[in-house]
Amino acid sequence: MKNEFDLIVIGGGSGGLASAQRAAEYGKNVALIEKAPLGGTCVNVGCVPKKIMWYASHLAHQMEIAEDYGFNFSSVTHEWEPLKKRRDEYIKRLNLIYENNLNKREITLIRGEARLEDKHTVCVSDEPFKTEHIIIATGGQPTIPDIAGASYGITSDGFFELEEKPKNVCIVGSGYIAVEFAGMLSALGTNVTMNIRTESILRSFDSMLSENLKEIMTHHDIKIQTGKIPESIENAGSKFILKTTDGEESELYDTIIWAIGRSPCTENLNLSSASVQTDKYGYIPVDKFQKTNIENIFAIGDVIGKEQLTPVAIAAGRRLSDRLYGGMKERYLDYEMIPTVVFSHPTIGAIGMTEKEAREKYNNEIKIYTSVFNPMFYALSQDEKKIKTSMKLITQGDDERVIGCHIIGEGADEMLQGFAVAIKNGATKKDFDNTVAIHPTSAEELVTMR
| 3-class DSSP state of 142 | strand
4-10 and 127-136 beta bridge pairing: parallel
C-alpha separations of 47 from 43, 94, 157, 292 in Å? 6, 13, 12, 27
| Nearest C-alpha neighbor of 396 from the set 440, 371, 360 | 360
Task: Establish whether 439 is a catalytic residue.
Answer: yes
Q: Where are the alpha helices (DSSP H) in 148-284?
A: 156-159, 176-187, 207-219
Task: Give me the long-range contacts of 122-129 (CB less than 8 A, separation at least 24).
Answer: 122/8, 122/10, 122/33, 124/33, 127/3, 128/3, 129/3, 129/4, 129/5, 129/8, 129/31
C-alpha 447/C-alpha 438 separation (Å) is 9
C-alpha 81/C-alpha 87 separation (Å) is 10
| 3-class DSSP state of 141 | strand
Q: Where are the alpha helices (DSSP H) in 266-411?
A: 310-325, 355-362
Q: Which of 61, 78, 406, 439 is catalytic?
A: 439
C-alpha 338/C-alpha 188 separation (Å) is 31
How far does CA 1 lie from the centroid of its chain? 36
Q: Quote helix, strand, coil % in the chain, to nearest 5.
A: 35, 25, 40
**What is the identity of the amino acid at 399?**
D
**Residues with catalytic function:** 439
